């Protein structure tokens, strides 16, 4: 469905992003400005930006599709994400912010290198391999969402839709850096929240009300109303529910989310932002699942459940709102792609070129190199996306878990267990990542499709703790943990 109104809304939004990009460019002439907005972001920006980054096309297309396909069983995802976001802001954010301010860190590998006195830059090289491999998969999944969205809303064709989405996000990311990314993510998060509140309200009303929707779902498939879905209260059902809850674990230590805490102006912004972050993720996830469930009663038999949001917006809303929904889908995609591109770019320019290889250059030269690397990474993601991965939901979950299992156990141990050693952290990063990939490829189907983040997290913690106990810990590193605890104070 092509409409001048829809296109006008899209073009208007693109100009808003361009304006934010040029505004943000003034503060992105050095690496700290380009990658962390000079560490001056306020609470409301980091709250909406972190959630928008964590959710992506996975939320707008993937989770609504899960609500459509499995109904009430998708609420386990909501539980996991709320617990994950709340735990990250309450327990992780403040000590991590204190550490990274002390070290003047720009990236998460920066933090790990200084935290464990890694003079050989082992953390930087391992991080580069893990981040680059997973970011390619993650970015490809987001660009797949762009192709599906433009094709569903405007009939552009899948390939053309991928190109349009990439060009827009590359422009404002390379021009404006992290400041433009954070503020555009904040705007995108607000738009996502508004539309995900409106979608289920209108959808449930169109289905005849709550009771009629429930009746329709029961008639379509009684399993849609069961907490354990089609699996029932057995091993497969428990594994599926636990796997969905585990999705939220990644919020505790994924680098693309931790950078938001690093970019906060001060500790007060962390304290204030947590409340809004939790409310935001509740609105996001509940709206997506309920929207998908109402869509199941209105549009049964869709070949691709992940197109339910475009179908509902085109059928139930006036053209101007359909245009807004297209913008919101793009916002979900862009709010993640921009952060992933900066994450991958930072690990190359800051961690490898500047630090590990010791190449000397001016800050202006490095920031320009960062822009060029960002473009190259985006183009590689484009090539992968043109193969059109079948499911955004599961493709994103693989990349999400790969990054999270490599970093989260190590980051948590480094913050709260002073006995953690350099060799233990290295073993944890490698073990968590390798087990995640191996489990997905060879074991997942044999164990009730148990989500790969669960064995990945277990492996990450076991490797970190066991190797740390078998190796010596520097006294000054242990004392530093106590110093950070005293500086941060109680978390409640």
pLDDT digits (tens, 9 = 90+) for 380-404: 878 877 775 555 556 677 777 889 9
484 located within any domain: no
Q: Is 462 exposed, middle or buried (0-12, 13-18, 19+ CB in 10 A)?
A: middle
Q: Is residue 371 within 8 Å of residue 426, measured between CB atoms?
A: no
pLDDT at position 79 over 60: yes
Tokens of 350: 């800051």
Q: Is residue 473 within 8 Å of residue 421, measured between CB atoms?
A: yes
359 located within any domain: yes
**DSSP string for 123-147:** HHHHHHHHHHHHHHHHHHHHHHHHH
Read off φ and ψ for residue 380, nearest 5 degrees: -65, -45
413 located within any domain: no
What was the pLDDT predicted at 107?
A: 93
Least confidently predicted of 143-157, 378-392, 471-485: 378-392
Q: Cα separation of 5 and 304, whole Å?
A: 26
pLDDT at position 68 over 50: yes
Q: How many CB atoms lie within 10 A of CB 304?
A: 15
Residue pLDDT, tens place only, 208-245: 999 999 999 999 999 999 999 888 888 888 888 988 99
Q: How many structural domains does the chain have?
A: 1
Q: The CATH number of the domain where 258 resides is what?
A: 1.20.1730.10
- Within its chain, how far is the Cα of 2 from the centroid? 30
449 located within any domain: no
Which three-class secondary structure state does DSSP give residue 41? strand
What was the pLDDT predicted at 388?
A: 56
Question: Confidence class of residue 202 from pLDDT cuts 50, 70 and 90?
Answer: very high
As a whole-number percent, the residues of the chain with pLDDT over 70 amount to 95
DSSP state of 225: G
Q: Is 473 exposed, middle or buried (0-12, 13-18, 19+ CB in 10 A)?
A: middle
What was the pLDDT predicted at 492?
A: 52
As a whole-number percent, the residues of the chain with pLDDT over 90 amount to 40
Buried b (16+ CB within 10 A) or exposed e, 271-303: bebbebbbebbbbbbbbbbbbbbbbbbbbeeee
What was the pLDDT predicted at 1?
A: 45
What was the pLDDT predicted at 394?
A: 62
Tokens of 294: 């109402």
What was the pLDDT predicted at 269?
A: 92
Question: Confidence class of residue 152 from pLDDT cuts 50, 70 and 90?
Answer: confident
pLDDT at position 406 over 90: yes
What was the pLDDT predicted at 100?
A: 94
- Within its chain, how far is the Cα of 285 from the centroid? 14
Residue pLDDT, tens place only, 284-313: 999 999 999 999 999 998 888 888 988 898
Mean pLDDT of the region 261-267: 90
Place of tokens 């990236």: 107
Q: Is 118 exposed, middle or buried (0-12, 13-18, 19+ CB in 10 A)?
A: middle
487 located within any domain: no
398 located within any domain: no
- Among residues 274, 260, 246, 254, which one has the least CA distance to residue 411? 254
pLDDT at position 99 over 90: yes
pLDDT at position 375 over 50: yes
Structural domain boundaries, residue 358: 4-391
Question: What is the pTM (predicted TM-score) of this model?
Answer: 0.87
Q: Cα separation of 78 and 84, whole Å?
A: 10
**DSSP string for 176-219:** HHHHHHHHHHHHHHHHHHHHHHHHHHHHHHHTTSHHHHHHHHHH
Residue pLDDT, tens place only, 336-361: 777 778 888 888 889 999 899 988 88
Q: Cα separation of 425 and 460, whole Å?
A: 9
Q: How many CB atoms lie within 10 A of CB 153?
A: 27
Question: Confidence class of residue 19 from pLDDT cuts 50, 70 and 90?
Answer: confident
Question: Confidence class of residue 84 from pLDDT cuts 50, 70 and 90?
Answer: very high
Choice between 170 and 242, residue whose per-residue pLDDT is larger: 242
Top-ranked range on mean pLDDT: pick from 113-117, 167-171, 184-188, 445-449: 113-117
314 located within any domain: yes
Mean pLDDT of the region 445-470: 91
Place of tokens 């990314």: 181
Longest dimension (CA), the chain: 67
- Among residues 367, 483, 464, 482, which one has the least CA distance to residue 421? 464
401 located within any domain: no
């Amino acid at each position: 469905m092509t409409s001048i109104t829809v296109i006008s809304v899209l073009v208007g939004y693109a100009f808003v992003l361009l304006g934010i990009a040029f505004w943000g460019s003034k503060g992105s002439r050095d690496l700290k400005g380009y990658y962390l907005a000079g560490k001056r972001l306020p609470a409301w920006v980091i709250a909406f930006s972190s959630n928008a980054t964590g959710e992506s096309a996975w939320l707008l297309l993937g989770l609504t599709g899960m609500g459509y396909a499995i109904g009430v069983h998708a609420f386990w995802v909501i539980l996991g994400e709320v617990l994950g976001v709340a735990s990250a802001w309450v327990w992780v954010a403040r000590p991590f912010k204190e550490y990274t301010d002390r070290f003047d860190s720009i990236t998460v590998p920066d933090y790990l290198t200084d935290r464990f006195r890694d003079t050989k830059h082992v953390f930087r090289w391992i991080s580069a391999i893990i981040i680059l491999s997973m970011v390619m998969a993650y970015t490809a999944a987001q660009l797949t969402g762009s192709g599906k969205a433009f094709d569903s809303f405007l009939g552009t064709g899948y390939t053309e839709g991928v190109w349009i989405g990439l060009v827009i996000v590359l422009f404002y990311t390379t021009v404006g850096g992290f400041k433009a990314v954070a503020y555009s993510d904040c705007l995108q998060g607000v738009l996502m929240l508004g539309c995900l509140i409106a979608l289920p309200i209108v959808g449930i009303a169109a289905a005849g009300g709550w009771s009629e929707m429930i009746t329709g779902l029961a008639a379509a498939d009684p399993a849609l109303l069961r907490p354990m879905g089609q699996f029932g209260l057995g091993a497969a059902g428990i594994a599926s529910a636990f796997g969905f809850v585990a999705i939220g674990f990644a919020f505790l230590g994924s680098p693309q989310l931790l950078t938001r805490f690093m970019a906060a102006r001060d500790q007060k912004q962390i304290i204030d932002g947590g409340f809004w972050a939790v409310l935001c993720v509740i609105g996001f996830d509940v709206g997506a699942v309920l929207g998908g469930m109402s869509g199941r009663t209105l549009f049964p038999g869709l070949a691709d459940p992940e197109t339910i949001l475009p179908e509902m917006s085109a059928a139930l809303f006036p053209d101007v709102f359909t245009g807004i929904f297209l913008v919101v889908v793009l916002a979900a995609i862009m709010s993640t792609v921009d952060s992933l591109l900066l994450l991958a770019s930072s690990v190359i320019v800051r961690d490898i070129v500047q630090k590990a290889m010791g190449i000397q250059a001016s800050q202006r030269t490095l920031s320009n190199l960062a822009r060029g690397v960002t473009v190259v990474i985006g183009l590689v993601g484009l090539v992968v996306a043109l193969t059109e991965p079948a499911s955004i939901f599961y493709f994103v979950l693989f990349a999400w878990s790969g990054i999270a299992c490599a970093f989260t156990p190590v980051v948590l141990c480094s913050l709260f267990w002073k006995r953690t050693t350099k060799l233990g952290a290295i073993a944890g990063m490698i073990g968590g990542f390798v087990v995640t990939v191996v489990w997905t490829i060879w074991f997942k189907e044999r164990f009730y499709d148990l989500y790969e983040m669960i064995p990945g997290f277990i492996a990450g913690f076991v490797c970190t703790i066991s190797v740390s106990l078998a190796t010596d810990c520097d006294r000054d590193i242990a004392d530093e943990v106590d110093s950070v605890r005293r500086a941060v104070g109680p978390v409640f």
